[in-house]
């Protein structure tokens, strides 16, 4: 999900229902709050709680809900999780620390171990920080040594690492794809789900793509993949959340603004996104 902000940067919780209604209607089967697309690195614990609380209030009661923690210390992560712990969250996606200095592997394992021991909530490690990237060997160690790790959300465009994890991860753990440009091969490789930016703009098309792969319609899936890839390429990634919210707004979502210093989608970006989005929506509709 994106997070709606006002012109002054304040959180607009009243706009959240619009997005939840859209995502549920358009076949999302779970919701993730406060991730990178939701500008979670900018959210204080009370703001994260406000977002999660509103989403939980308006989403279907039987739909899974994931909160997020994008922070720089073990203590910050624990505080963020404790802020939402009583709200019916099914799991928390959590990045390694995203500031400059990378912990060594032993401290990385201890970091996630302490977070789970103090909160008891299932964790999905969000492997997206380029200079704090977790290798397949380390992610497998984490899943083997920290019982509370539900799985890995593999991001940063690395389908090779995703494929390695699908082979080597413990079979009772989940490897979720956040490789937006390659959702088609991710489904082919057997991911149980996609937690990513693009599905927040095209939830129905993502579900249609998943279904086409499951039904063996690879000709249709590849056509839809190519249309989705064109949409992804139309979005400049320095302000990706702003581009996603523009695509949402074209479909009637009250998506608000990004939080400064992120730039809203420019006129040049909008001119590329709109036709690419329309092509995805037309194709997904014809395949539904």
User: What does pTM read for this prediction?
Assistant: 0.95
Report pLDDT for 51: 98
What is the reported pLDDT for 158? 77
- Residue 147's φ and ψ, nearest 5 degrees, are -60, -25
* pLDDT the model gives residue 206: 98
Element (H, E) at 138: helix 136-145
Q: Are 220 and 227 in contact (CB under 8 A)?
A: no
Q: How far apart are CA 117 and CA 108, in angstroms?
A: 14
Q: Among residues 14, 24, 15, 92, which one has the least CA distance to residue 59?
A: 24
Domain 13-287 bears CATH identifier 2.30.130.10: no
Total residue count of the chain as it appears in this document? 288
And the tokens for 114? 């302490």
Neighbours of 274 (CB within 10 A): 14
Given a cut of 70, the residues of the chain with pLDDT beneath it are none
* Predicted local confidence at residue 134, as pLDDT: 93
Domain boundaries, the chain: 13-287
- To which H or E segment does residue 12 belong? none
Tell me, what's the pLDDT at 226?
98
Chain centroid to CA 202: how far? 13
């Amino acid at each position: 999900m994106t997070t709606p902000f006002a012109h002054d940067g304040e959180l607009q919780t009243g706009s959240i229902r619009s997005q939840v209604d859209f995502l549920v209607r358009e076949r999302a089967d779970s919701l993730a709050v406060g991730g990178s697309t939701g500008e979670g690195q900018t959210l204080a614990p009370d703001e994260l709680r406000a977002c999660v609380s509103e989403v939980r209030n308006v989403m279907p009661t039987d739909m899974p809900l994931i909160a997020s923690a994008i922070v720089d210390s073990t203590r910050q992560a624990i505080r963020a999780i404790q802020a939402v712990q009583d709200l019916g969250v099914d799991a928390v996606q959590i990045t390694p620390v995203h500031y400059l200095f990378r912990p060594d592997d032993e401290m990385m394992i201890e970091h996630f171990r302490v977070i789970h021991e103090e909160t008891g909530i299932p964790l999905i490690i969000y492997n997206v920080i380029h200079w704090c990237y977790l290798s397949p060997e380390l992610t497998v160690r984490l899943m083997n040594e920290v019982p509370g790790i539900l799985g890995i959300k593999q991001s940063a465009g690395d389908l090779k690492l995703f494929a390695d994890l699908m082979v080597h991860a413990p079979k009772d753990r989940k490897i979720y794809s956040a490789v937006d440009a390659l959702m088609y091969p991710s489904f082919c490789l057997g991911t149980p789900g996609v937690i990513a930016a693009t599905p927040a703009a095209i939830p129905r098309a993502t579900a249609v793509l998943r279904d086409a792969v499951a039904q063996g319609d690879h000709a249709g899936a590849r056509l839809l993949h190519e249309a989705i890839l064109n949409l992804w390429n139309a979005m400049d990634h320095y302000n990706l959340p702003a581009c996603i919210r523009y695509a949402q707004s074209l479909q009637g979502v009250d998506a608000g603004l990004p939080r400064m210093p992120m730039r809203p989608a420019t006129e040049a970006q909008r001119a590329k996104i709109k036709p690419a989005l329309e092509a995805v929506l037309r194709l997904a509709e014809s395949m539904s």
